[in-house]
Structure 1
Amino acid sequence: MGVREDAYRYAVKNAFQHGGKADAGAVIGKAKALYPDKDVKDLVKDVQAAVKEANALPAAKLKAEFDRFDQEGWELRPKQKEIGLLSLEWAEGPNAESVVTRFAPNPNGPFHLGNLRAAYMSYAYAKKYGGRFILRFEDTDAKIKKPIENAERLFLEDLKWLECVPDEVFWASQRFDLYYDYLRKLIDRGKAYACNCESGAWRKLIEEKTACPCRAQKPAETLRIFEKMVSNEAKEGEYVLRLKTDLNHPDPSVRDWWLARCVDEPEHNRMKKKVHVWPSFMFQNSVDDHEMGVTLIIRGQEHSQNVTKQRFLYDYFGWRFPHAFHTGRLKLEGIILSKSDIKKGIEEGRFEGWEDPRLGTIRALRRRGFDARALKDVLMEVGVAPNDATISMSKLIDYNKKYIEAESERMTFVAEPVELTVKNAPVGGAEKATLAAGAQKFWVAGKPLGKLKPGAVFRLKNAFNVKLASFDGKKAAGEAVAGGVDPKIVGLNWLVDGGATAVAVKMADASVRHGVAESRLAWKKPGERAYFDKFGFVRVDEQGKSLTNVWFTHE
């Protein structure tokens, strides 16, 4: 059973015990205890509907329902929290419905962590129940949210990396004839009207729960105006096609929401022909979900009010509304996710593109070296709960290490290196090289060396001690001296000159650190990983003739 059924059970009990009228507050309290993770707004709606149904029962029917539930037992326990994918009762058993899901991004920016939750959970549910997963680009904004170049390729690449390959791909902008057909049907049924009221005046009437004069149009007149809109005889701003809803609805945004409007000069890079009537997201989204047979919608909490608006449309056409999860916003600690902020930053030159390591795009996380399985583990942990969730970077790193540690070859890395010449270097082996007799050149980190004064002793790790003779900021000289490991002296990572490859490391803050690493790094292919000792995990990005470019993943 779900919230509605359980709420009805308690509403019947409360109504029977209180003269036929159940108290919504008491039933809400029970429902909250049973469904602690349920979004309160959705829960209250279900309870109110259940209470209304119970209060409408005739006395004899109310007693019969009370007796039925009394035999079954009243007390229900809160369901144990499920980890990962919640079970879909409606998709199981002999009367199971098919599970068809969709990921419906606006392609005005790349795939990012903010919409990854909807994408992956939609895919996972479809695959769990042997259903279909649809990728649908909702690109019906004629001027502002224009698709980025190569949007389909970029999204499909990221989805493939996540192993969430869609069964079908659609673009809303290629379905205008379908939308026009449904708009004409609404007009023919008297459920839509063409409004030419000044926007401020119309808004004032709506706030007063009063119909504008256009609402009284006959279907034939509305259809005539609509065809003028389609042919562009009616110009931008002249008419807006509106859906007749409930003018007394407590939420003004629900009252007669707009279906379509004129656009004289649409700016859209995918349209094969110029069209002048552009549907609203609310309308297009509803039509496509119905036409594609979508049975489960997973989308952000900010879209929960869409259900109320879209139900008018579904009821007018006699459609069945899909099941839905409305999830909270997902954020990653210290990472930028806002598409508008990202686009502005790119335009201003603050970001280096959609793959800038400071961003929460899937492409940036992939290029940095995060494993797709780590992202999916995090998503399974937060599930489809309605509350917002902020993922700590440390948690994501812990998940990621689990997958990349074994495949990341350990090697020495020397950041910002300087050349060190050591006299009297001992003959023999060290951890990373066979040392020659006499003077030998090494690469060591310049920063810690710069803190030492001439005469100070430091140690080349796992090799021998050196007494510093001189250091001018670029080159240093010293002499090998006797002595073993001493915690009081500085130990430096080192590489033998000639046994190292130059490296440029793109850091998480987009800065670049230069250094040298063991020469075998130069043989790694782009996409392969390494672990730089005392520095962190890196992913090889590009191999140049004399430089290996890597991206820093995390420590």
Structure 2
Amino acid sequence: MTLTDEDKQIIEKYALQNAVKYGKAPQLAAVMSKVMGECTHLRASAKEVSPLIQEILERVSKEKPEQWQARLEELAPEMIANMCAKKEPAKGLKPLEGAECGKVVMRFAPNPNGPPTLGSTRGIVVNSEYVKMYEGKLIIRFDDTDPQTKRPMLEAYDWYLDDCRWLGAEPDQVVIASDRIPLYYRYARQIIEQGNAYVCFCTSEEFKSLKDASEPCPHRNTSPQENLVYWDKMLAGEYEAKDAVLRLKTDIKHKDPAMRDYGIFRIVKQPHPRPKVDDRYVVWPLLDFEGAIEDHELGTTHIIRGKDLMDSEKRQTYIYKYLGWEYPKTLHWGRVKMHEFGKFSTSTLRRAIEEGEYSGWDDPRLPTLRAMRRRGILPQAIRKFMIEMGVGETDVSISMDTLYAENRKMVDPIASRYFFVWDPVELPIAGAEPRTAKPPLHPTENKGHRSIDVTDRVFVCKDDVEQLQAGSHIRLKDLYNVEITSVAPLQARYIGDEVANLKKDRMKIIHWAPVDGIPVKVLSPDGEFKGIGEKMISTELDKIVQFERFGFCRIDSVGSEILAYFTHK
């Protein structure tokens, strides 16, 4: 097949648009979709066209970003205008100061010592939303340079990326700090050569005493040449942990003791959990140094961090000044406290899991994304919840009910309804003929009906039984009416199908389950519920359903027993 010159130009403009938008080589799938949308005559020959498009993409990929921009302005200037058209910020998010469309670079920088929690999710969602708003670039940077105190978990790297994708926050670039130690060493050497860093041999107690008294460490005025010798000995492993620390020269008289000659590298001889790194390094950067270097190297334009980390910017400003760099724009936000979880940290949760307090990171009692996903909280609900919280320095105290309300709006129209009876009690019904009940799968949506074969007995909840008395008339939902003839033992008799006079007769409606139903176990933040449910529940694997009079649940596994995770009421 041969492409016309017009076809080639259309392919090129979409390839350039993709390259300019994301700042990297154009992607075939995205370009192909655009081309087929405009060139309808090529759709029938998509398989033949694909390699021809790939050839053009490869040619574009060899060019530089500035060439992409210039050629696109020449070929289709309207695409540049459309790409950078001002967008309304999402509700809750204010415009970024100094942000230019197509030039915003933001990062989310977790320590992978566990999976994302609702606390860290705010950073993932808000950074990704700003990047979408400004057609920018999102970087996930794993700050994993503490192999001892906040030791990384190997599984957590993939957990973070998987959860980011699930949240609609696919990163444009992934950086792992432990892969880039030589980069930090290079900048450390440069700062030592400038005379702006020195190797300190004080004990932590000795240095604290001097620092608190605004007095310099005795090693502060050591020459750069001598410090380089000590630095090389640190790198070679000639010192033990805590024997030596590389410190940045700041203001030893600064009013805040935390700002005075703070450490930027320390010795840690515990191997890193990543096999690629293992015991390759014994000198590790502290977070303020590593983060400062990376934010510059990666071209970060805007940083959002907790207001409790304001001092990080002040400390990092010294590094930027010494290296002649301009610091990114910074926003701060207050802490978020979830009423149901209180104060939590990944390290605390990890210890509790290791001690057997929780079944794992997806235990329904935990505030992790893995738990939220397993319970059936939708990513769209979480995004909306986090975005509407906004970015402000005021501490936020909020209930999970707010998130549940967002999720309920989304799952209520799609969740099929089923009967689940917890703490089941058998109810024999005299005079009841076997029949097949046909309750609707949804009370308002046209989803059809489910089929439940019923004999002359059903299961009802123990909670309902405790409120019954002989002579009570009750309606078994979507089945028929019965009169309770005895409560000990529990017995009833069939009294008809009609539903017209329920209010007049003050007849209570309760749900039920067939005696040949399927065992169901529900795991929830409030504990475990066991009972009997309809057999058709087994067709809803990995879907969210509503157990009537109980709540929404996600069906986690199907077998001889149904395992469900409670979502919310």
TM-score > 0.5, shorter chain as reference = yes
2:547 aligned to which of 497, 522, 532:
532
- SS in structure 1 of the partner of residue 312 of structure 2: helix
Structure 1 distance, partners of 2:420, 2:459, is 10
Cα displacement string for residues 136-160 of structure 1 (whole angstroms, at most 9, x for unaligned residues): 1101113121111311211111111
The 3 A distance-change label for structure 1 pair 436 and 342 is closer
Q: 1:535 is matched by which residue type in structure 2?
A: F
Q: 1:416 Cα deviation (Å)?
A: 2.0
Structure 1 distance, partners of 2:335, 2:281, is 35
1:86 aligned to which of 90, 94, 102:
94
Structure 2 distance, partners of 1:442, 1:203, is 73
Q: 1:540 is matched by which residue type in structure 2?
A: I
Structure 2 distance, partners of 1:335, 1:111, is 15
- SS in structure 2 of the partner of residue 283 of structure 1: helix
The 3 A distance-change label for structure 1 pair 489 and 146 is same
The 3 A distance-change label for structure 1 pair 208 and 487 is farther
Q: 1:154 maps to what in 2?
A: 159
Work out whether 1:397 is the aligned partner of 2:404.
yes
2:288 aligned to which of 278, 282, 289:
282
Q: Is the 8 A contact 2:419 2:513 kept in 1?
A: yes
Structure 2: which 5+ runs fail to align? 1-88, 440-449
Structure 2 distance, partners of 1:314, 1:487, is 79
Question: TM-score, with normalisation over the residues of structure 1?
Answer: 0.78
Work out whether 1:318 is the aligned partner of 2:324.
yes
Work out whether 1:219 is the aligned partner of 2:219.
no
Structure 2 distance, partners of 1:489, 1:392, is 36
Cα displacement string for residues 443-478 of structure 1 (whole angstroms, at most 9, x for unaligned residues): 2223322444556554423444434455667xx433
Match runs of 1:128-147 below 5 Å: 128-147=133-152
Work out whether 1:494 is the aligned partner of 2:512.
yes
Q: 1:520 maps to what in 2?
A: 536
Q: Is the 8 A contact 1:501 1:548 kept in 2?
A: yes
Structure 2 distance, partners of 1:550, 1:493, is 19
How many pairs are equivalent?
466
Q: Is the 8 A contact 2:106 2:127 kept in 1?
A: yes
The 3 A distance-change label for structure 1 pair 167 and 97 is closer
- SS in structure 1 of the partner of residue 153 of structure 2: coil
- SS in structure 2 of the partner of residue 326 of structure 1: strand
- SS in structure 2 of the partner of residue 139 of structure 1: coil
Work out whether 1:342 is the aligned partner of 2:349.
yes
1:460 aligned to which of 452, 476, 490:
476
Q: Is the 8 A contact 1:211 1:247 kept in 2?
A: yes
- SS in structure 2 of the partner of residue 350 of structure 1: coil
Q: 1:227 is matched by which residue type in structure 2?
A: D
Q: 1:515 is matched by which residue type in structure 2?
A: G
Match runs of 1:440-479 below 5 Å: 440-453=456-469, 456-469=472-485, 476-479=490-493
Structure 2 distance, partners of 1:273, 1:157, is 28
2:522 aligned to which of 476, 500, 505:
505
Structure 2 distance, partners of 1:268, 1:463, is 59
Structure 2 distance, partners of 1:166, 1:435, is 47
Q: Is the 8 A contact 1:192 1:241 kept in 2?
A: yes
- SS in structure 1 of the partner of residue 413 of structure 2: coil
Structure 2 distance, partners of 1:305, 1:427, is 73
Provide the aligned C-alpha RMSD in A: 2.6
* Paired-residue identity, %: 36
Work out whether 1:387 is the aligned partner of 2:394.
yes
The 3 A distance-change label for structure 1 pair 487 and 257 is farther
Q: 1:307 maps to what in 2?
A: 313
Structure 1 distance, partners of 2:381, 2:530, is 28
Q: Is the 8 A contact 2:198 2:219 kept in 1?
A: yes
Q: Is the 8 A contact 1:113 1:331 kept in 2?
A: no
Q: 2:284 is matched by which residue type in structure 1?
A: W
Match runs of 1:86-105 below 5 Å: 86-92=94-100, 98-105=103-110
Structure 1: which 5+ runs fail to align? 1-80
